[in-house]
Amino acid sequence: MTGMPTDGSELDDAWKKELDAWLKSWRDARHLDPWFLGIILGDVRPGEGVLVMAFPDQDARDRLERRREPRYEKGYELPVSLVNEELVPSTSVKLQSTLKLIRETQGLPLVQGLAFLTHLYLFISEWSRHRARDRSLLNGITWGELPEHTDVDAILLARQKSPSASVNALLSGWEQTQGEAARGIVAPADGKLGRPNYLHLPPNWLDRDDIRELYGDEVAAQGIPVIVPADIAPQIPTVLEFLGLKKQVETAHATSVPSETAGSPQTPEPGVDGSDNFEHWDDYRQVKLRGKPFSLTPAQAAAVKVLHESYLKRQPAVSAASLFAEMGKLAPIRVSDMFRKADPRAELIQRVGKDSYRLNL
């Protein structure tokens, strides 16, 4: 880790105390003023874009009444762009192998794995800044410090295009700390089944109910990793195959039994935006595009709501930074995860350029 002695000597007591005190202070600051990571990551291959941004968690901070602080009276910090680049072959290979190893050790999907790497980078970077007496990346300018009538979208897009790090910087953090951090830096206090969530600063633990709230009817696709001892790992595929067949039989039986409520769904009246092309319920969980109905997950609904409101303002294209900022706690889900190519609901949105999106109207 940057700032550590490299001559093989034991860390002196004063250095240890400084590091321990800083870690406690930094973690306390993250609990007091939490952030979340917004990540866009497609396939890990050359030419694909990688975007990592940090946003103040406004909902969590408001619950902590942080607006009472004079610094935050008119708004929290501006988002911080950490990575925004296209992968080159050498970086792609390194990132792919690293994310694969993280998945094997912690069971994390790609985006969570990249978020984990971001945490390691931030620990090292922030410690280095502390040693150099530099300001923290997460203690920047606030919205209240900007001039009145500032173009918010222009500011967000400018921040998005000015990253402070790179994919190689994140990988360097992994190389420096993997011996101690390979198996993760968060675990459940109560032993509940779930998975770590590194898309939050500080990281937290998502149990099954938390994952269901975030992903709605896509929860099954998310999966909950269970790390097993190496000596029984070879038997796991056979067990999973059996469980998969069992589930198919149960599903076939369930679908053959008529539902008491079938044919009588209770749905509210939709709200219409003035055109015949798009209709939506108040919470956007049910929408129609050119008369075709779609049922959306909470995250999809939040994204479509943002894009629709932008459309109504005659600002159809929304940058990834603006989309993440508006979605709040549902934002730490990559757009390609919310609207997979094979998912019919992907018809609802269009990608514009490298990092912007619009409603398909």
Which pLDDT does position 77 carry in this prediction? 92
Which pLDDT does position 325 carry in this prediction? 75
Structural domain for 120, as ranges = 13-222
Q: Is residue 265 part of a domain?
A: no
Q: Is residue 289 part of a domain?
A: yes
Q: Is residue 336 part of a domain?
A: yes
| pLDDT tops 80 at residue 198 | yes
**Do 52 and 199 share a structural domain?**
yes
Highest mean pLDDT among 92-106, 177-191, 314-328: 92-106
**Do 189 and 123 share a structural domain?**
yes
Which pLDDT does position 163 carry in this prediction? 93
**Burial zone of 177 (CB within 10 Å; 0-12 exposed, 13-18 middle, 19+ buried):** middle
| pLDDT tops 90 at residue 87 | yes
Q: Is residue 297 part of a domain?
A: yes
More confident residue, 68 or 108: 68
Q: Considering its fold, how many domains does the chain have in total?
A: 2
Provide the CA 71 distance to its chain's centre, in angstroms: 26
| pLDDT tops 80 at residue 158 | yes
* pLDDT tens-digit series, residues 238-277: 555 555 554 544 444 444 334 333 333 334 444 444 456 8
Q: Is residue 169 part of a domain?
A: yes
Q: Is residue 203 part of a domain?
A: yes
* pLDDT tens-digit series, residues 167-189: 999 999 888 876 567 667 776 66
* 3-state SS track over 149-210: CCCHHHHHHHHHCCCCCCHHHHHHHHHHHHHHHCCCCCCCCCCCCEEEECCEECCEEEEHHH
Which pLDDT does position 90 carry in this prediction? 93
User: Whole-angstrom Cα distance, residue 112 to residue 333?
Assistant: 9
**Do 297 and 213 share a structural domain?**
no
Q: Is residue 228 part of a domain?
A: no
Which pLDDT does position 96 carry in this prediction? 92
| pLDDT tops 80 at residue 117 | yes
Q: Mean of the pLDDT values across residues 129-143?
A: 90
**How does strand 35-41 pair with strand 204-207?**
unpaired
Q: Mean of the pLDDT values across residues 286-312?
A: 85
**Do 129 and 28 share a structural domain?**
yes
**Do 322 and 181 share a structural domain?**
no
**Do 208 and 294 share a structural domain?**
no
Reported confidence tier of residue 88, pLDDT bands at 50, 70, 90:
very high
Domain termination residue (choose one: 196, 222, 248)? 222
Domain termination residue (choose one: 222, 242, 258)? 222
| pLDDT tops 70 at residue 37 | yes
Average the pLDDT over each of 62-66, 196-200, 236-240, 273-277 and give the range with the smallest value. Answer: 236-240
User: Whole-angstrom Cα distance, residue 10 to residue 169?
Assistant: 27
Assign residue 351 the CATH number of its domain.
Answer: 1.10.10
| pLDDT tops 90 at residue 83 | yes
- pTM summary value: 0.66
Q: Mean of the pLDDT values across residues 136-165?
A: 87
* pLDDT tens-digit series, residues 225-247: 544 444 544 554 555 555 555 45
Residue from 170, 34, 159 nearest 115 by CA: 170
Q: Is residue 305 part of a domain?
A: yes
